[in-house]
Amino acid sequence: MNSGERLSETGGEGSDGNGAGDPRAGLQAAAGAQWVLQPRGTARVRGPKHFEHSVRKGIKLADYERELGADAQALRVLFPAGPARLWGSTPAAPKKSEKTTALAGRRVGDEVLFYADKKFVARARILGLFRNRALAKAIWGVDENGRTWEHMMALGDVDEFGVPAEPLLERLGIPVPLRSLTLVGADRRHRFLDMVNPSETARAARPEPSPDVEAGTVPRKEDVLRALSALKTHVKDRRPSRHKPITLLWAIGRLATERGRERNRLVEWQTFREEVGPLLRDFGHPDSRVTPEYPFWHLRSSGLWDVEGIDTQGTAPTPSRLTAAGASAGFSKDAARVLRRSLARAEAIGLICSRHLPDVDREALLERVGLSGYASASGDLPGREGSATRRLRTSFRPDRDSRLVERIKEMYAHACQVCGSRVETMYSHYSEAAHIRGLGGPHLGPDQLSNLLCLCPNHHVEFDRLAIYIDEDWTVRRNSTGAVEYQLKRHAEHVIEQDHVRYHRALCGRR
């Protein structure tokens, strides 16, 4: 049986609704990320179409009010800012199979690797697991036997790439081509991580994209970051204007929310002026004029910005001409696509703040543009009262696993991995477990040992508020000066995932 994922939108009925007795996998914290190898399905079974619809673009929850049922609230909390990325599987045959094992054994926090045409083409974290037949039917239809993808996964940000799958499948003893949903345990995943985890640097260093990857389909993060880094700003009295970088942050904020999905990528001048004007007034140099028309027009020179609805050949138009023409502006399609990915977004925000807005109150500005989570590594700024959304998320997201917290503290006997000091209490010692990539939104890091550090309270605050970061060689550097202050202490059994450290560095504006 190798057609387990076949679906069509015609034929078949089956019972509708998710029966009251349906077991709900619910949310569980993962002990260590496993791999879920997921065949995407061929064009014949609408694999690419479904992928485009429910993973790459994501579905609008509002379009499925009736079918969401008991999962409505959980999904809204998982995807507060917009479209929900979902994938599913038909129920497995009762006999023991790879698929039965995978459906039963996969967990929240696991990494899904999508497989198509003998390549791994994308990956994403599992944010939630649930069973909802009505919703699956509404999104993907049913196959000729009335089956649908009712075993569903809610997915985090999707990273698309193209890595030949054969070498890894061979090492894992899995027949090529991959035919069925397959689970790979945490240990084996860890051993072979590099085979599908080309580090960002390795990817950047590769002279040419793989010829199999269609040119232009995967816009390059490096190009966007380079352009942001090289951003030319108007200089007056030897001070670079803040108008462009502030506008870029505002535009990234839009992308990160529902308002910024493809349809609204470009913003009309009137709206732009109303939203960007006050930001320039409040965060620009006190004596600089508020001229939103300047970034609206001149950001084009960054190569990341489109202006439409007005002749872009001529000289800079006046505000009244922009109004008359109904011009609109925003990130180019390629730039927007890159900046919708969480790592790229974190890197871009860190880079803009540290390079172009070093003297601006970063926390205040990021909060104004809807990116407040990016001002700290945990995403949860102490002292800021949470919104309703955050309260929901807190009660819904799996609490940090207290066993992991105990384990990391025990491993280091409460000694800070940065400075080595142990805070003494009357009878014992005190330390804190710090997530490298925060559990809360927008970071959505995994609750795993590979994402934890044992820190003293001072270094916990400094790490969380981006005052210090860990470099590639495990030195601990001060962000304001770049100076090496410590060597990170690492226990032989504590494997720290570089991806998380890189993410934290990105938030710090360090690449």
The three-point CA angle 351-354-359 to 5° equals: 150
> Taking CB under 5 A as the rule, which mask of x and - marks residues 158-177 in contact with Zn ion?
--------------------
Minimum Å gap between C-beta 458 and Zn ion is 6
Pairing of strands 182-184, 35-39: antiparallel
CA atoms within 13 A on the CB side of 188: 15
Range in contact with Zn ion (rule: CB under 5 A) among 127-135, 310-318, 412-420, 472-480: 412-420
Nearer to Zn ion, 182 or 417 (CB): 417
Closest to Zn ion by CB, 154 or 416: 416
Residue closer to Zn ion (CB basis): 346 or 418: 418
- Pick from 181, 307, 349, 418 the residue near Zn ion by CB under 5 A: 418
Question: Contacting Zn ion (CB under 5 A), which of 126, 224, 346, 416?
Answer: 416
Q: Of 100 and 421, which CB lies nearer to Zn ion in the complex structure? A: 421
- For residue 267, the one-letter residue type is V
The nearest distance, CB 487 to Zn ion, in angstroms, is 13
Q: What are phi and psi of 129, to 5 degrees?
A: -125, 135
Report in angstroms the alpha-carbon separations of 322 from 275, 293, 329, 340, 469: 16, 8, 11, 28, 44
What is the contact mask toward Zn ion in residues 16 to 45, using x (rule: CB under 5 A)? ------------------------------
Which residues, 6+ apart, have CB-to-CB distance to 130 below 8 Å? 24, 25, 26, 71, 74, 152, 154
- Cα separation, 204 vs 347, in Å, equals 15
* CB 430, min distance to Zn ion, A: 12
Nearer to Zn ion, 189 or 414 (CB): 414
What's the Cα-to-Cα distance from 467 to each of 61, 107, 422, rounded to whole Å? Answer: 38, 34, 21
Structure tokens at 381: 């700024």
Q: How many residues bind Zn ion (CB under 5 A)?
A: 5
- Burial group, residue 65, by CB count within 10 angstroms (0-12, 13-18, 19+): exposed
Q: Which amino acid is at 59?
A: I
Residue selected from 419, 461, 488, 495 as contacting Zn ion according to rule CB under 5 A:
419
Q: Which is nearer to Zn ion, 30 or 455 (CB)?
A: 455
Which 87-126 residues touch Zn ion, going by CB under 5 A?
Answer: none
Cα–Cα distance measured from residue 216 to residue 102, given in angstroms and rounded to the nearest whole number: 34
Residues numbered 229-258 forming contacts with Zn ion, rule: CB under 5 A: none
Q: Which run of H or E residues covers position 486? A: strand 484-487
Q: Among residues 264 and 475, whose Cβ is nearest to Zn ion?
A: 475
Spatial CA neighbour of 29 closest among 321, 504, 455, 449: 449
Q: Choose between 320 and 428: whose C-beta lies nearer to Zn ion.
A: 428
Q: Shortest CA distance to 6 belongs to which of 100, 101, 114, 145? A: 145
Cβ-based nearer residue to Zn ion, 153 or 468: 468
Strand partners, 452: 435
Other Cβ atoms closer than 10 A to 194: 11
Min separation Cβ 412 and Zn ion, Å: 11
Pairing of strands 235-236, 423-424: unpaired
Measured at CB, which residue is nearest to Zn ion? Answer: 416
**392/419 with CB nearer Zn ion:** 419
Q: Within positions 301 to 330, which residues make up the interface with Zn ion, using CB under 5 A?
A: none
* Continuous segment of H or E residues that includes residue 252: helix 243-255
Q: How far is the CB of 417 from Zn ion (least distance, A)?
A: 8
Task: Report in angstroms how near the CB of residue 486 gets to Zn ion at its nearest.
Answer: 8
Cβ 506 to Zn ion shortest distance, Å: 23
Q: Is 304 helix (H, G, I), strand (E, B) or coil?
A: coil
Least CB distance from residue 455 to Zn ion, whole Å? 6
Question: Closest distance between Zn ion and the C-beta of residue 447, in Å?
Answer: 22
User: Alpha carbon of 288 to those of 25, 284, 352, 359, 368: distances in Å?
Assistant: 56, 7, 20, 15, 20
Least distance between Zn ion and beta carbon 426 (Å): 20
The answer to whether 442 and 256 have CB atoms below 8 angstroms apart is yes
* Segment contacting Zn ion by CB under 5 A, of 36-44, 264-272, 418-426, 438-446: 418-426
- Determine if 434 is a binding residue for Zn ion (CB under 5 A): no
Stretch touching Zn ion by CB under 5 A, among 167-175, 292-300, 410-418, 488-496: 410-418
Interatomic CA distance for residues 22 and 19, integer angstroms: 5
Minimum CB separation of residue 362 from Zn ion in Å reads 23
Closest CB 462 distance from Zn ion, rounded Å: 8
Query: Which lies closer to Zn ion via its Cβ, residue 53 or residue 494?
Result: 494
Residues 448-507 that bind Zn ion (CB under 5 A): 456, 459
Cα gap 95→16, rounded to integer Å: 24
Residue where the block lists tokens 């609204």: 264
Question: Can you give the binding site for Zn ion, defined by CB under 5 A?
Answer: 416, 418-419, 456, 459
